[in-house]
Amino acid sequence: MSRILVTGGAGFIASHIVDAYLAAGHDVAVVDNLSNGKRENVQEAARFYEVDIRSPQLVEVFAEEKPEIVNHHAAQIDVRVSVEDPLFDADVNVLGMIKLLELCAKTGVKRFVFASSGGAIYGEPAVLPAPEESRIIPLAPYGAAKAAGELYIETFGRLHALSYAILRYGNVYGPRQDPLGEAGVVAIFSSAMLANNDVRIYGAGEQLRDYVYVGDVVSANVAALTRGDGISVNIGTGKGTSVNELFKEMAALTGYEREPIYCPRRAGELERTYLAVKKAKELLGWEPANDLKTGVQKTVEYFRKAKGTLFTK
């Protein structure tokens, strides 16, 4: 069993990872500044530090916890914020991450797991499903920061014998999801449909994304504790789903009978991206276990129960 520090562990994805690491018997601590996460997402069994990854207090957390593994999910996650304020985005997502890597190197952390983004770093991929060898062509500073983060890990890996796994997610959805994240559309559709409110689709609704269920992202993070050294792998489903298909699937599940309202396409939005996942199978022994229907069903169920308390801080 390992001592694991999870950054961003009060957020959507990493709070589920914390649950899984605890269930597997690991000793888990969480660092999160609660800028977007919620304290109640973190189980009592995990020690919680309300600390910014950029703060000098992080040194004390490392001294106290002596982590063997760091799983890094803390980030500024809003692509539009990265466009409006690229310096802030880079401050958290690049400089904050370098700070963390430096502490890992100084304190002898053995392994680093990083949440990157296949959707954001490949831009509009030339080949679909996009393999890991796709050119890195981010369309927003958020993607540029994720790509920079990957380069820094690889460099620290060479410099300090730090073993690492980089996981490039598709659009992650599921319980506890934030509407701002890369797959925010599932959370937005769920709550709008359950309340019988208007549902808006931007553009023709034919844009393709790789919607991957959070439970599958968690199992990839469990596998990444012990498998694959120095790897960068896509974590998705291998399939592209259009917003129109997602709308239909979710309308059927929620009993929503209205038509969507089509609005003008948003500037800078990707048309088609989904990820090849063969490499994750080879290197991590990982495959997604939930298809879109199963994952969306679990998600809608969560939002049905959470009705009225959504998106409150």
Which residues sit at the interface with ligand NAD, rule CB under 6 A? 8, 10-14, 31-37, 52-54, 73-77, 92, 96, 115, 117, 169, 171-172, 178, 181-183
User: Nearer Cβ to ligand NAD, position 38 or 161?
Assistant: 38
User: Nearer Cβ to ligand NAD, position 210 or 249?
Assistant: 210
Q: Please, is 164 exposed, middle or buried when counting C-beta atoms within 10 Å of its C-beta (0-12, 13-18, 19+)?
A: buried
How far CA 91 is from CA of 36, 74, 79, 82, in Å, comes to 16, 12, 14, 11
Count CA atoms within 13 Å of residue 65 on its CB side.
Answer: 29
User: Nearer Cβ to ligand NAD, position 1 or 87?
Assistant: 87
211 catalytically annotated: no
Least distance to ligand NAD from the beta carbon of 75, Å? 3
Give, rounded to a whole angstrom, the gap between the first and last alpha carbons of the chain: 34
Letter string b/e over residues 120-140, b meaning 16 or more CB atoms within 10 A of that residue's CB: bbbbebeebbbbbebeeebbb
Tell whether the torsion through CA atoms of 273, 180, 112 and 18 is positive or negative.
negative
- Please name the amino acid found at residue 151: L
Q: Are 127 and 153 in contact (CB under 8 A)?
A: no
Give residue 68's Cα distance to chain centre: 22
Catalytic residue chosen out of the listed positions 21, 49, 122, 142: 142
Least distance to ligand NAD from the beta carbon of 111, Å? 17
User: Nearer Cβ to ligand NAD, position 87 or 255?
Assistant: 87
Least distance to ligand NAD from the beta carbon of 173, Å? 7
Least distance to ligand NAD from the beta carbon of 33, Å? 4
Q: Looking at the annotation, which residues are catalytic?
A: 142
